[in-house]
Amino acid sequence: MRAAALLSSVVAAASCAVATPRGDAPRSRPRAGAAPSSRPRPPERWPRAGELAGWTLAAPPFRSAGHHAGAVDVEIRLPAELIDAYRRLPPGRRLPDGATAAAIHRAPGGAVDVYVIELGADGWRFLVLAPDATIRRQGRLGDCLRCHAEAPRGGLFGLPSTAGGSETSPP
């Protein structure tokens, strides 16, 4: 009798859960008439944030001509395996799919924000991160797409110029 009651409880509990795609943890169904949670979701941290400190500085920092109205200096960083391709990127070409670059904006008091650009088969995807790497905005952001469409090489700014400095166009 106890086994039947236990089995009945397990079956009842299982029937209240909803399976999610790809084996994610099950979610329970909201109760009928229950109000949606008014608690804001905690900010999401960029999953690759831990890698950023180890990325290679692409060129000396330069004054931004775009983001923050020229009030910040920018460090462009890329994973080591992409740094040569970035530095040698000719006009009209782009980095390989999967490439990621970050522009760290710094003011005299420290980092202001980080802009990340990730290249996929459908083009660039942008992320705007707080200094702690929490995501403020992300996606194929219209304002980012418009500006980067005018970038001199592969949708990117900040590449080393032939004069040895960095192009000071936006970021």
Domain boundaries, the chain: 49-148
Beta strands in the chain (DSSP E): 17-18, 27-28, 56-57, 62-63, 73-78, 100-107, 110-120, 123-129, 135-139
User: How many CA atoms, within 13 angstroms, populate the side-chain half-sphere of residue 53?
Assistant: 4
Percentage of the chain beyond pLDDT 90 is 50
What's the pLDDT score for residue 23?
A: 41
What's the pLDDT score for residue 158?
A: 80
The 3-state DSSP composition of the chain as helix, strand, coil percent (nearest 5) reads 25, 30, 45
What's the pLDDT score for residue 17?
A: 34
C-alpha 59/C-alpha 149 separation (Å) is 22
C-alpha 74/C-alpha 81 separation (Å) is 21
DSSP structural state of residue 57: E
Task: Per-residue pLDDT tens, the chain, 171 aa: give them.
Answer: 333 333 233 333 333 333 333 344 444 455 555 566 677 788 899 999 999 999 999 989 999 888 888 899 999 999 999 999 999 998 888 999 999 999 999 998 888 999 999 999 899 999 999 999 999 999 999 999 999 998 888 899 887 664 444 444 445
